[in-house]
Amino acid sequence: MKKSSAILESVINECNKHVQRMNSAYKKIEPSLPITSEKVFKLDEWEVEHIDQYIFRFAKLQDAIGNKLFKSVLAELGEEVTNKSAIDIFNRMEQLGIISDYDLWKEFRDIRNELAHDYEEDEHEAAEKINLIISKKPELEKYLTNIVNYLNTKKLT
């Protein structure tokens, strides 16, 4: 197995682990959804732990896809990725028809960056951010699915 293939397989496994754990946390918090500003400070420790787990895995998945998977896919295709900016890598993935919608991807990055800071400043903002990432879950997972489908079509996995 080529080194790039082994790295790609490892990154896909990492992404799948984040999806699995994010989905597990989602199932546990789903009965509490949507989170309202009134509910934020009434959440029990169990709910807070699972919301935190969901937020953590959402951020980790977005980071793994954007900083590892995109590069690994291009490397597996024989593309040069060293010293390429994130936008250049995204643009190349888009040119190849693997992914699309830079604005949506940028929104995921912005959400991740916002969540890296404390999301519990005020109850309205906390509820808004939690509900936002929950609503974006299918779209984020679709990036991974599209990439895996592309790789399967090209017989690269």
State the pLDDT at residue 92. 95
State the pLDDT at residue 125. 82
Domains belonging to the chain, first-starting first, are: 3-153 (1.20.120)
Question: What's the pTM value of the predicted model, to 2 decimals?
Answer: 0.91
Q: Is the peptide bond before 34 cis (omega within 30 degrees of 0)?
A: yes
> What is the Cα–Cα distance from 14 to 8, expressed in whole angstroms?
10
pLDDT tens per residue across span 66-125: 999 999 999 999 999 999 999 999 999 999 999 988 889 889 888 877 776 665 667 788
Mean pLDDT over 132-154 rounds to 93
Hey, what amino acid is at 45? E
pLDDT tens per residue across span 27-57: 999 999 999 988 888 889 999 999 999 999 9
State the pLDDT at residue 17. 98
Rg (CA), the chain: 17
> What is the Cα–Cα distance from 78 to 59, expressed in whole angstroms?
28
Is 60 exceeded by the pLDDT of residue 133?
yes
Mean pLDDT of the chain: 90
End-to-end CA distance of the chain: 11
Q: Is 83 left (phi over 0), alpha (psi -120 to 50) or beta?
A: left
State the pLDDT at residue 72. 95
pLDDT tens per residue across span 1-26: 688 889 999 999 999 999 999 999 99
Question: CB atoms < 10 A from the CB of 129, how many?
Answer: 19
